[in-house]
Amino acid sequence: MIEDSENIPETKTQEERAVNNWRRTLQPLLPVNTGTVPAGKSYESTPFFRLGSQKISNGFEELTNWIIGQGTVLIDGYAGVFFEEIQFQIQEELDKRDISVKWQHTSAYFKPEAEIEALVAPYMGAKNEVWGRKTQLGLADFFRYEEISAIEKEATKTINIVIGVGAGLLKWDAPVLYFEIPKNEIQYRMRAGAITNLGSSITDDHFSMYKRFYFIDWVVLNQHRSALLNRIAVVADGQWLDEVNWIFRSDLEAGLHRMSHAVLRARPWFESGSWGGQWMKKHLEGLNKDELNYAWSFELITPENGLVLESDGNLLEISFDLLMELEYKAILGKHAAAFGTYFPIRFDFLDTFQGGNLSIQCHPSKAYIQENFGETITQDETYYIMDCEPGAKVYLGFQEDINPEEFRAELESSQLKKEKIEIEKYVQSFSSRKHELFLIPGGTIHSSGANNMVLEISATPYIFTFKMYDWLSLGLDGKPRPINIAHAFNNLRFERKGEKVREELISRQQVIQQGADWELLKLPTHQDHFYEIERIEFDTTVEISTGDKCHILMLVEGSSISAEVNDADTYRFNYAETFIVPAATGRYKLINHDQRRAKVIKVFLKD
């Protein structure tokens, strides 16, 4: 049924939703403005890029004034946005002005749920597996398209609004107001049971909902937003309940163009886990210290990271994907043709300090991930040791006398009987050393042991981990985590064993350039890796050319540095903060603010 303005669905205030756990997490919401952003001294958990004055507006009052000026508006946005709250806030403003409005809802035009379930089933994979397959569907496939296309305006109303996911499917000559929401907030709402997947009316278990989001919903929504870009007039941040910050597309595009020729940092977010540690809680400001542990970070996992923009103190978060849609050529330079709008490098932390071991695991080959999951590149990784306790280990490669059949039989027996395995009978371990780099191309058996702080540098895919042995540990839900022995044995490279592991999978670092107070070290990666890793060590300053390549950097020793562009714009970064220098930046200077030597990891794509 299409609802008129006098039949607005009941909505809950923020306090009422809090009682009902509308977002289940201990992590704070992004502040609406900088007045409540804590001033970090050693780690900024809320980094933002300054757009200049009068670019971001605050409040539903001004947004409603803009809507009134249009007369007809399509309010679209990402799944997970609370469109009912948005309608409620706008309606309150219209009521103050005694303006009549016709609301029409895209949710009334979804196909029957059974039909949608049948539509997505081929992409959902096995019921008990984490993985599905990237969909070939489009957003229009979820709707009764002929009916939604036939929605008409009501001439007797001053304002006509179509609201909900897919509003931009209408071919009306009307501006689109598009609501973004960060992926972490989608998951916090999902865990609270506050949202559903596309076209569903009920929540599912978190495992199934995330799989549906990753392989289907987010794919079609990204495609829809991309197709809609030229019609979007305003982008708004949909992560708050009773507040809104918004920006005109022209100002957003100008700001992102400037960002793509400067230096930028994504907004990180963090998750606890069964093996999680205490290092990040101790060393990174801005994290909730009441969290049980922090197992990993989304320091730079661009399919789920946001970018925070600032103007006049107002903050607005957009997805990293949107920057790539508009500026991928400036970001990736000479590699833009190869990767398009897909950002290919990932940085994240794995914290096992006072925690446990990661599972014994491997990742798929490129052919396997393409054929089975619809990805384009695979999860080729490295472990860079940021910090470690004495006795910490990295498990990597097989013992020389590995017998694959015997190993598989023992893994399956352990899974069945819940019995421990003497894993080092089959898998080698190496002592962890600070600043050492371990190479983990697809198919390599590996794990981080307890008491490591690992910077994981990898190709972007991030959920394709085939676990073989999990030390009989339980997840935070008290249940065993899924084991994937069959997938693993379809990918394991048993020739990576014995002394060959030390020779080929532990990077042999070497100085390749040096000056009066600086050195450039190469940390060779495996031939299967499509990226290079270097470390810049310097006392005062060092100048660097991008060479028309994107550089991803992190300060891994020292307190803080600045990146200066064009002898003018300066961006400060603290220890353990990831930042990106786009290819289009050209040249930049790193400036050390510490008395001790700074060490900066730099990652870029191979020629």
Beta bridge partners of 480: 474
Q: Can you read off the two tokens belonging to residue 567?
A: 């002898």
Sheet holding 446-448, edge to edge: 427-431, 393-398, 446-448, 360-362, 466-469
Beta bridge partners of 196: none
CA–CA dist 30, 124 (Å, integer): 32
CA–CA dist 344, 288 (Å, integer): 30
Helix (H, G, I), strand (E, B) or coil at 437: strand
> How many Å separate Cα 102 from the centre of its chain?
37
> How many Å separate Cα 24 from the centre of its chain?
18
Burial (Cβ within 10 Å: 0-12, 13-18, ≥19) of residue 291: middle
Please answer whether residues 346 and 464 qualify as being in contact, where contact means their C-beta atoms are separated by less than 8 angstroms: no
**Could you tell me the domains of the chain?**
54-259 (3.40.50), 310-505 (2.60.120.10), 510-605 (2.60.120.10)
CA–CA dist 274, 356 (Å, integer): 8
Its sign, for the CA torsion 457, 461, 467, 468, is: negative
At 83, the amino acid letter reads F
CA–CA dist 167, 564 (Å, integer): 43
> How many Å separate Cα 21 from the centre of its chain?
23
Q: Can you read off the two tokens belonging to residue 293?
A: 């542990």
CA–CA dist 78, 82 (Å, integer): 10
Q: Can you read off the two tokens belonging to residue 361?
A: 């695991």
Of 212, 136, 222, the residue nearest 178 (C-alpha): 222
Its sign, for the CA torsion 602, 253, 268, 193, is: negative
Q: What is the pLDDT of residues 440-473, one digit of tens each?
A: 999 999 999 999 999 999 999 999 999 999 999 9
Q: Can you read off the two tokens belonging to residue 353?
A: 């300090």
Please answer whether residues 284 and 576 qualify as being in contact, where contact means their C-beta atoms are separated by less than 8 angstroms: yes
Its sign, for the CA torsion 248, 251, 255, 260, is: positive
Q: Can you read off the two tokens belonging to residue 492?
A: 């394991």
Helix (H, G, I), strand (E, B) or coil at 348: strand
Of 81, 105, 89, the residue nearest 238 (C-alpha): 81
Q: Can you read off the two tokens belonging to residue 267?
A: 């907004």
Helix (H, G, I), strand (E, B) or coil at 460: coil
Phi-psi region at 340: left, alpha or beta (left = phi > 0; alpha = psi -120 to 50): left
For residue 13, the model assigns a pLDDT of 42
CA–CA dist 260, 256 (Å, integer): 6
Q: What is the pLDDT of residues 215-227, one digit of tens each?
A: 999 999 999 999 9
Please answer whether residues 142 and 61 qualify as being in contact, where contact means their C-beta atoms are separated by less than 8 angstroms: no
Other beta carbons less than 10 A from residue 341's beta carbon: 18
Please answer whether residues 361 and 488 qualify as being in contact, where contact means their C-beta atoms are separated by less than 8 angstroms: yes
Please answer whether residues 43 and 283 qualify as being in contact, where contact means their C-beta atoms are separated by less than 8 angstroms: yes
Q: Please tell me what DSSP assigns to residue 266.
A: P
For residue 10, the model assigns a pLDDT of 38
For residue 4, the model assigns a pLDDT of 32
Quick one: three-class SS letters along 464-504? Answer: CCEEEECCCCECCCCCECCCCHHHHHCCCCCCCECHHHHHH
Sheet holding 159-163, edge to edge: 56-58, 245-248, 232-237, 176-180, 72-77, 159-163, 101-105
For residue 413, the model assigns a pLDDT of 97
Other beta carbons less than 10 A from residue 282's beta carbon: 13
CA–CA dist 190, 206 (Å, integer): 7
Q: Can you read off the two tokens belonging to residue 79?
A: 């799944």
CA–CA dist 256, 580 (Å, integer): 14
Point out the residues of the chain with pLDDT beneath 50. 1-19
Strands 72-77 and 176-180: parallel
Quote the percentage of the chain above a pLDDT of 70: 96
Of 93, 25, 86, 27, the residue nearest 240 (C-alpha): 86
> How many Å separate Cα 602 from the centre of its chain?
20
CA–CA dist 263, 572 (Å, integer): 10
Other beta carbons less than 10 A from residue 111's beta carbon: 17
